[in-house]
Amino acid sequence: MNLNKTLDLEAIIDSRTVSRLQRVVIGFCALVAMMDGFDMQSIAFVAPEIVSAWHIQPAVIGMVFSAGLLGGLIGAVVFGRAGDRLGRKWTLLCAVLLVAIGSFLTPFSTSVATLVAALFFTGVGLGGAMPNFISLASEYSPAARRATLVALMFCGFPFGAVIGGLVSAKLIPAFGWTSVFTVGAAFSLLILPLFAFFVPESARFLALRGDHAAITRILTRMGCADLWNGEVGATAHGRSSVASLLTEGRAPGTILLWITTFLSMFMLYLLINWIPMVARRNGLGIESAVIAVSMLNLGGILGSTALGRLADRFGPAIVIGCAYGAGAAAIASIGYAVHSGLSLCVAAFLAGLFSFGAQLCTVALAASFYETFLRATGVGCSMAAGRVGAIVGPLLGGMLLGAGIGAPSLFIIAGMTSLGAAAAALTMGFLVLQPRSRKPLNVTEAAHKLT
């Protein structure tokens, strides 16, 4: 064996500086996240116009909000498992194709039933894309910078929503609400050939399949094939299944992740979907209402970037939990700010900075908690738990508003869910991750542990 070839695959990815290829992979995953954010939140931007045109009651529009999220729940589980079995890249491309088809069909909706069907179909693709682009970005990120890079990549989600809000504010008055979905479909179709051409399959997934030739080609593009000793390192092998998430000591962490994502997505989608509607009911224009949601997403971008760096330094669960707690007060204040566009934007930005930023970093926590063979399934099921919360949040918001509850009470409830997410994340940090980090490892495991 060539003595210069001293590093296994895990060590090459984890110990070297981020290569151009790794930046390309993470960048394209961020682009897919942008698509996800744009398309997932499009219905919130156009909802006030649909309500006005179709004379829909709040409880009914709550069902419309939840249609895409229900599709996302199913897509996250099904495509997450497919990603672990068939590969991240092509599973992701199939999901993006579904998004493009569903987005093109949505403008042809002529009733609530057809709109719900189109949004559900699109949601399956959006939910299916997420666990795979998260896993792909995580598996090309060095261990020491994984939380920062995955959180930075996932900033594409709120950035897509920010762009969507700004674009929608201009498109809707000029071309109607259907134009928003047409633009989203075109964006999805643009991504497909670029991603297929430039992005390779996950090297760590290929290691599970024993495809050394494909790994060599990827390492050549990374400029370090001459360092590889032919070994894959500590990449674990095992059977990918939902049941595996609850075995071999994973159950407490898995359950706490599900609770955290459920509560955080409940909170987030209640805010995203009902801030514009509540703002319009309190006299603000459509542009101010949409910009407020954009400020929530902008806060999430800045918050997740800062929190990701802190998470790499102090541990993800503790940082995430504290941020959820700080965001609860900002969320509660939204209900008292809906009469002023400026006040609403400030409150929404602070809520995004802490609670939305923490939710984006929770994705990185889920990706780092599971081994390679189980990662897409684990992330997919965590996202599915979150989608349940995302479905319940808008539905409950519509029911409460239909029953006559005021804006302050609605957003206090949302703030309480952020506190619940804080409690779950902190519990995971103290009871699961800290004992795991103190577990003694042998020399080989210590050198190659995939966090």
The CATH number that applies at residue 61 is 1.20.1250.20
Asked if pLDDT for residue 84 goes beyond 50, the answer is yes
Asked if pLDDT for residue 260 goes beyond 70, the answer is yes
- Examine residue 53 and state whether it is found in any structural domain, yes or no: yes
Task: Look at residue 443 in the predicted model and tell me its pLDDT.
Answer: 31
**pLDDT tens column, 26-42:** 999 999 999 998 988 78
Q: Which tokens hold the place of 184?
A: 């989203």
End-to-end CA distance of the chain: 29
Asked if pLDDT for residue 239 goes beyond 70, the answer is no
Greatest mean pLDDT range, 187-191, 274-278, 287-291, 341-345 = 187-191
Rg of the chain taking only CA atoms, in angstroms = 21
Beta carbons of 215 and 194 less than 8 angstroms apart: no
Task: Look at residue 100 in the predicted model and tell me its pLDDT.
Answer: 95
Task: Look at residue 146 in the predicted model and tell me its pLDDT.
Answer: 80
- Examine residue 1 and state whether it is found in any structural domain, yes or no: no
Structure confidence at residue 152 as a pLDDT band (50, 70, 90): confident
Q: Report how far residue 351's alpha carbon sits from residue 332's, in angstroms, rounded to the nearest whole number.
A: 9
Q: Which residues contact 203 (CB under 8 A, 6 or more apart)?
A: 9, 13, 139, 140, 215, 218, 219
Number of structural domains (the chain) is: 1
Task: Look at residue 238 in the predicted model and tell me its pLDDT.
Answer: 52
- Examine residue 369 and state whether it is found in any structural domain, yes or no: yes
Asked if pLDDT for residue 97 goes beyond 80, the answer is yes
Structure confidence at residue 412 as a pLDDT band (50, 70, 90): very high
Asked if pLDDT for residue 117 goes beyond 70, the answer is yes
- Examine residue 180 and state whether it is found in any structural domain, yes or no: yes
Task: Look at residue 393 in the predicted model and tell me its pLDDT.
Answer: 86
- Examine residue 104 and state whether it is found in any structural domain, yes or no: yes
What totals of helices (H) and strands (E) does the chain contain, helices first?
A: 19, 0
- Examine residue 2 and state whether it is found in any structural domain, yes or no: no
User: Which of 377, 372, 381, 81 is CA-nearest to residue 202?
Assistant: 372
**pLDDT tens column, 385-398:** 988 998 888 888 88
User: Which of 425, 410, 443, 292 is CA-nearest to residue 358?
Assistant: 425
- Examine residue 321 and state whether it is found in any structural domain, yes or no: yes
Instruction: Note down the domain range covering 419.
Output: 9-448
Q: Which residues contact 221 (CB under 8 A, 6 or more apart)?
A: 21, 200
Task: Look at residue 395 in the predicted model and tell me its pLDDT.
Answer: 81
- Examine residue 285 and state whether it is found in any structural domain, yes or no: yes
- Region 337-359: mean pLDDT is 91
6-10, 347-351, 364-368 — which is least confidently predicted? 6-10
Q: Which tokens hold the place of 374?
A: 């189980």
- Region 317-346: mean pLDDT is 92
Beta carbons of 12 and 227 less than 8 angstroms apart: yes
**pLDDT tens column, 211-238:** 889 989 998 988 888 888 777 665 545 5
Greatest mean pLDDT range, 51-65, 177-191, 381-395 = 177-191
Task: Look at residue 118 in the predicted model and tell me its pLDDT.
Answer: 94
Beta partners for 228?
Answer: 7
Q: Report how far residue 412's alpha carbon sits from residue 195's, in angstroms, rounded to the nearest whole number.
A: 42
